[in-house]
């Protein structure tokens, strides 16, 4: 009977997350199946697209808290490239999402967010419930 209750709870939670994900246009299916890389890409792309502008050093609301982003450009092998960072100090003081050598600053910040989500979910520090906030 306890097993049935547990499975029923999982089913209800899955349906709830699926409904929330459909309303928010973010696919949490990889997150629910512990595919952290795909989860990071899906949620990172959604967070990036949620805001229509990014500054060099910026603060945005994500995962129910305040997160920070930073990007900069520079030359690498005689080509202009962009690097980005994304972090949420209240969730983790040591994990930072990074990206390097992107042709666009938009690509640099989007991939930094994806890297952050991948690192945080695989470390168990960012729960599926927080991904939709």
* 106 vs 90, higher pLDDT: 90
Token duo for residue 48: 């990036």
pLDDT tens per residue, range 43-71: 888 887 776 666 677 888 888 899 999 88
Q: Collapsing DSSP states into helix, strand and coil, what is residue 61?
A: strand
Which class is 2-131 in CATH?
A: alpha beta
Query: Is the model's pLDDT at 97 over the cut of 70?
Result: yes
Confirm if 43 and 112 have CB atoms less than 8 A apart.
no
Looking at residue 2, what is its pLDDT?
45
Token duo for residue 39: 């989860």
pLDDT tens per residue, range 4-33: 343 333 333 343 444 344 445 777 888 888
Other Cβ atoms closer than 10 A to 77: 6
Helix (H) or strand (E) holding 108: helix 105-122
**Between β-strands 97-102 and 79-87, what pairing exists: parallel, antiparallel or unpaired?**
antiparallel
**For the chain, what is the mean pLDDT?**
76
Confirm if 92 and 120 have CB atoms less than 8 A apart.
yes
pLDDT tens per residue, range 118-129: 999 999 888 878
Other Cβ atoms closer than 10 A to 29: 15
Q: What is the pTM of this model?
A: 0.68
| Torsional class of 78: left (φ above 0), alpha (ψ -120 to 50), beta (otherwise) | left
């Amino acid at each position: 009977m306890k097993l049935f209750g547990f499975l029923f709870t999982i089913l209800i939670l899955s349906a709830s997350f699926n409904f929330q994900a459909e309303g928010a246009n973010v696919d949490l299916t990889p997150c629910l199946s512990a595919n952290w890389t795909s989860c990071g890409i899906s949620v990172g792309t959604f967070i990036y697209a949620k805001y229509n502008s990014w500054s060099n050093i910026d603060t945005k609301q994500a995962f129910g808290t305040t997160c920070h982003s930073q990007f900069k450009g520079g030359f690498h092998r005689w080509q202009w490239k962009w690097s980005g960072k994304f972090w949420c100090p209240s969730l983790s003081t040591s994990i930072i999402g990074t990206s390097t050598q992107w042709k666009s600053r938009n690509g640099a910040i989007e991939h930094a967010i994806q890297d952050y989500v991948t690192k945080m979910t695989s470390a168990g520090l960012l729960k599926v419930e927080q991904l939709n906030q």
